[in-house]
Homo-oligomer: A and B are copies of this chain.
């Protein structure tokens, strides 16, 4: 028996004990009232609930989780994508008023998708973007508070994931399955190379462009590499020579870097490229500014394409032709996968073969490639 707290101690958040005492039942009954109402006589139940309301009692999620080993929460870890430029550039983009509301990113879509799916299954969603580097890695914090979670590729150190995935379901998003020892994780990716290949083919065949330049990413990124691969395939298929490396690799895939990349590419000797293909939309948008500054018309003088299909891509002028990734859907599928693992019972959880799915992407033809009037 736990020592009864003095008298009606004020200012202390009420617990099952308080409610139990005041309603003349045991804590077990109070617990039952919340977890399995029907197992308690109606009269007793009402009395308990009344006292609870009266006392301002709210069951502690922590205590509950501890005792029942489950939280009813799913998580999502994503990188701190915030592109400083993105916020203000939207307005500058075409002289409209400020509208940072339009800059809906990648991760927002995934959040939307996950939240909805999670809700359908009765879960709440815990989201956290990676901070530079706290004492305890972000994942640990999230992992410790959820039943399972999704991680945007390369958001957290592989090593951490390896450890964590041993104790709860984790689904890897967008990044192709990292070859390492994480091959037991469920994983969802999009058809990066298919998309970039198709986009490139479009530029070559439908617009007759042949002098292309590709801007990739300096850091290791399977997604970006896959895109580049698709680009190369399309070029080769059309008999266009391409190197094994992108024409340029930027340190960060932001608008500022995209603008800089455009300058760099344009300053190179030799024939000016007819099209600039960027590994993501933000860079493409940044390039648009450079091009405008240099007095080059898009797409007449040079076509520009991005990748991702973020809202921003359609708001700038000219609207950017890109490859849309079904991020919302990815979020939903992630939840489905997690829920499946979670409901699969402890044994099956590890037994089941890791799932790996590839979501289809679609080329979005807009003005920046010449498909619609700029």
Contact = CB atoms under 8 A, between A and B. Distances in A.
A124 B141 contact: yes
B135 A37 contact: yes
Contacts of A25: none
Contacts of A144: 58-62, 64
Interface stretch (A100-108, A194-202, A211-219, A283-291): A100-108
A93 to B, nearest CB: 12
B66 A60 contact: yes
Contacts of A104: 101-102, 104, 108, 311
B141 A61 contact: yes
A373 interface: no
Given A127-B124, A129-B119, A131-B119, A140 B58 contact: yes
Interface residues of A, number: 72
A99 B252 CA distance: 26
Interface stretch (A110-118, A261-269, A270-278): A110-118
Given A104-B102, A310-B101, A328-B100, A164 B58 contact: yes
- This chain: copies in complex: 2
Contacts of A53: 159, 163
A108 B109 CA distance: 9
A119 B128 contact: yes
Given A102-B314, A135-B37, A314-B99, A145 B61 contact: yes
A200 to B, nearest CB: 19
A62 B66 contact: yes
A248 B21 CA distance: 53
Contact of A327 (B65, B101, B102, B314): B101
Interface in A73-110: 73, 80, 82, 96-97, 99-102, 104, 108-109
Contacts of A26: none
Chain A to chain B: the 8 pairs with minimum beta-carbon distance, closest first: A61-B144, A61-B145, A62-B65, A56-B166, A124-B128, A62-B66, A104-B104, A13-B167
Interface of A: 11, 13-14, 34, 37, 53, 56-66, 71-73, 80, 82, 96-97, 99-102, 104, 108-109, 111-112, 115-116, 119, 122, 124-129, 131, 134-136, 140-145, 159, 163-164, 166-168, 309-311, 314-315, 324, 327-328, 346, 350, 362, 364-365
8 contacts: A34-B135, A34-B136, A58-B140, A61-B62, A61-B141, A99-B364, A100-B328, A124-B141
